[in-house]
Amino acid sequence: MVRRRGISFAIVALLLCCAIPAINSCEAAAASSWPMYGCDGKQSFHSDVDVRPDQLRVVQAVRLDDRYASVMENGSLVMSTHEARYHVKSPSLSPQYSIRMDGESPFLATIGSACNDADGNTVGMFGTPDDVAVVSFAPDLKINWRVNLTGFPWSIPIQDQDGNVLVVTYFHGPNSTSVPEAHLIDKNGTLLWSHAFQDCDASDRRIRPSFDQNGSSFYLLNRSAGLVLVSLDKTGNVSWSRTLPNDSSFTSGTHVDEFGRILITASGCVHCFDKDGDLQWMTADLGFVNVVPGRGMIFASTADDMVAGMSPNGAIYWQYYTQGSLLYSPSMITSAEGALIFTDGRTCYVLNGLTGIPIKLLDVASDTSDGNFSDIIIGNDGSIYLIAHWGESVIISGPRDTTAYQLQSFLTLGGIVLSICGLVAFVLHASRSPAFSRMTRNERLLGPTPLAHEKGAWRYLDIVGILFLIASFLLPWFVFVTSVPDFYIGGEHSSLLLNNLNAHPLPLIAMIGIVLLLLSIVITLASKFGGAVAFLSILMISLGMPQFCSTAWLPIVNDLRNGLGFGWAFTIAWWGAGLVLLSGYLTLKKMDEKGFEKEVQNGVNL
Closest CA to 255 of 222, 285, 290: 290
Q: Please, is 478 exposed, middle or buried when counting C-beta atoms within 10 Å of its C-beta (0-12, 13-18, 19+)? A: exposed
Strands (E), 225-261: 226-232, 238-243, 255-256
Whether residue 48 is contained in a domain is answered as no
Tally of CB atoms within 10 A around 552: 9
Of the pLDDT bands very low, low, confident and very high (cuts 50, 70, 90), residue 231 is very high
Tally of CB atoms within 10 A around 90: 13
Q: Do the bridges between strand 269-273 and strand 306-310 make them parallel or antiparallel, or are there none, so unpaired?
A: unpaired
More reliable by pLDDT, 431 or 116: 116
CATH number at residue 339: 2.130.10.10
Task: Tell me which of 384, 399, 414 is where a domain ends.
Answer: 399
Whether residue 41 is contained in a domain is answered as no
Q: How many domains does the chain have?
A: 2
Average pLDDT value for residue range 402-422: 40
More reliable by pLDDT, 305 or 281: 281
Same-domain check for residues 391 and 476: no
- pLDDT tens digits along 127-167: 665 678 888 877 666 778 889 888 877 776 788 888 899 98
Same-domain check for residues 327 and 309: yes
- Whole-number Å distance between alpha carbons of 248 and 305: 20
What pLDDT was estimated at residue 280? 92
Same-domain check for residues 134 and 281: yes
Same-domain check for residues 305 and 434: no
Average pLDDT value for residue range 273-295: 87
More reliable by pLDDT, 290 or 361: 290
The answer for residues whose C-beta is within 8 angstroms of residue 183's C-beta and 6 or more apart is 134, 147, 149, 166, 167, 168, 169, 191, 193, 194
Tell me which amino acid residue 595 is. G
- Whole-number Å distance between alpha carbons of 297 and 32: 12
Same-domain check for residues 477 and 344: no
SS3 480: helix
Same-domain check for residues 533 and 389: no
More reliable by pLDDT, 101 or 157: 157
Distance set, CA 44 to CA 36, 71, 158 (Å): 6, 11, 9
Average pLDDT value for residue range 370-399: 61
Whether residue 416 is contained in a domain is answered as yes
Whether residue 43 is contained in a domain is answered as no
Same-domain check for residues 244 and 266: yes
- pLDDT tens digits along 290-328: 888 876 788 998 877 788 888 888 888 777 877 777 776
- Whole-number Å distance between alpha carbons of 595 and 253: 67
Domain that holds residue 70: 53-399
Whether residue 570 is contained in a domain is answered as yes
Tell me the chain's radius of gyration from C-alpha atoms.
29
Of the pLDDT bands very low, low, confident and very high (cuts 50, 70, 90), residue 107 is very low
What pLDDT was estimated at residue 472? 43
- pLDDT tens digits along 158-183: 888 888 999 888 887 777 677 889 99
Whether residue 18 is contained in a domain is answered as yes
Task: Tell me which of 364, 399, 434 is where a domain ends.
Answer: 399
What pLDDT was estimated at residue 238? 94
Cβ contact 16:467 at 8 Å: yes
| Cross-strand bridge partners of residue 255 | 263
- Whole-number Å distance between alpha carbons of 455 and 437: 15
- pLDDT tens digits along 582-597: 555 555 455 555 554 5
Whether residue 106 is contained in a domain is answered as yes
- Whole-number Å distance between alpha carbons of 383 and 51: 7
Distance set, CA 528 to CA 137, 362, 445, 520, 595 (Å): 80, 52, 21, 14, 12
SS3 241: strand
Same-domain check for residues 415 and 393: no
- Whole-number Å distance between alpha carbons of 551 and 547: 6
Same-domain check for residues 425 and 568: yes
More reliable by pLDDT, 11 or 36: 11
Same-domain check for residues 99 and 207: yes
Task: Tell me which of 342, 368, 399 is where a domain ends.
Answer: 399
Distance set, CA 78 to CA 141, 160, 212 (Å): 12, 20, 25
Same-domain check for residues 340 and 207: yes
Dihedral Cα 197, 198, 201, 202, nearest 10 deg:
40
What proportion of the chain, given as a percentage, has pLDDT over 70? 35
More reliable by pLDDT, 530 or 205: 205
Give the N- to C-terminal CA distance of the chain in Å, as an integer: 25
Whether residue 452 is contained in a domain is answered as yes
Same-domain check for residues 465 and 521: yes
What's the mean per-residue pLDDT of the chain?
59
- Whole-number Å distance between alpha carbons of 386 and 377: 7
